[in-house]
Amino acid sequence: MKFLDLTKVYVRSGSGGPGCVSFRREKFVEFGGPDGGDGGRGGDVWAEAVDGLNTLIDFRYQQHFFAKNGEHGMGRQRTGKDGDDIVLRVPVGTEILDEDEETVIADLTELGQRVLLAKGGNGGWGNLHFKSSTNQAPRRANPGQPGVERTLWLRLKLIADAGLVGLPNAGKSTFLAAVTNARPKIADYPFTTLHPNLGVVEVDGAEFVLADIPGLIEGAHEGRGIGDRFLGHIERCAVLLHLIDATSSDVLGDYRTVVAELEAYGGGLSDKPRIVVLNKCDALTEQEAEDLTILLREEGVPVKLAISGAAGQGVRDVLRLLRQHILRARKAEKAPAEAGEWRP
């Protein structure tokens, strides 16, 4: 299944059915009068967050969604049938944007959350509504209200507790494969990861979701490389794990490049808690890894650990640090909600 995180859709709600002009005509019934029914309501267009989806690829093949129109009214005061609604089923974490691709209409972050995208038109009144003492045989009825037509953008931001950042070939995919059942592509050339990958981590009896995104390079926020297209997938993360390649010829420059790109992107990424670790330390001696860690700390780089995702060295310690930050973030989110609850 291909990954797609941005797509355009066209939606239109149903128009209301027109009212009916009708008169009661029965033998031996004097003064029958008007009996035209109302038109039915047009169908609405909804978006709903559902389980089991992590891509918008379905909207690549179907982009137009039109709700049914309401049926016209009929004689004997019969109201027309309402048009059927249509529901766009999207993954949890989908943002719905207006045509300008900037105005956020809704952010579906919870399972089962629904939002009305286009309201159906009301049905028109039949001539029965226009009867009065001075107009006992009205020959007019209202047309139904037209439906609403909109062009919208759907943008998916994956729901993950922690995110991996770093330059290409920093070992992010290897780390993800080592700690989860995810099987991302791993190779010895840059940009082997072309789309985000998710994996579920289990540590000390607890689970959390870890996201791996394509590597950043200098100028990514301006569109270089794969650009900043996938950075939105870690905006919802509680903590970031910044992996630095310990075998790089310019370890300090690599760190500063990623930090600069996070700051240039915005979205609060530079303010998120970030755990910095040296990766690929199995290629160094223990003394070399220790010396490099000390050197980076003297330059202001807050290196926490020296690890190796491929060899499993120090991996559990990193996962425990991530879990601590995630638990702290969840407690902070719960506190305002619990403060607003009333308990007898």
State the binding site for Mg(2+).
173, 193
Distance set, CA 187 to CA 22, 224, 229, 311, 340 (Å): 75, 21, 22, 16, 50
Decide: 195 and 238 in contact? Cβ < 8 Å.
Answer: no
Q: 213-234 as b/e, with b when 16 or more CB fall inside 10 Å?
A: bbbbbbebbeeebbbbebbbbb
- Indicate if the alpha-carbon torsion angle 111, 113, 118, 123 is positive or negative: positive
- Indicate if the alpha-carbon torsion angle 52, 54, 60, 62 is positive or negative: positive
Distance set, CA 234 to CA 105, 163, 176, 237 (Å): 20, 6, 15, 5
Q: Which residues contact 64 (CB under 8 A, 6 or more apart)?
A: 9, 10, 11
Provide the annotated binding site for GTP.
166-173, 191-195, 212-215, 279-282, 308-310
Decide: 241 and 199 in contact? Cβ < 8 Å.
Answer: no
CA 245-209-316 angle, 5° bins: 55
State the CB neighbour count (10 A cutoff) for residue 97: 18
Closest CA to 132 of 33, 268, 4, 28: 33
Provide the annotated binding site.
166-173, 191-195, 212-215, 279-282, 308-310
Write out the DSSP string of 120-161.
PPPPPPPGGGG--SS-SS----PPPPPPPEEEEEEEE----S
State the CB neighbour count (10 A cutoff) for residue 300: 9
Q: How far apart are CA 333 and CA 327, in angstroms?
A: 10
Beginning with the edge strand found earlier in the chain, give each strand of the sheet holding 104-108 in spatial order: 64-66, 6-12, 149-156, 94-97, 104-108
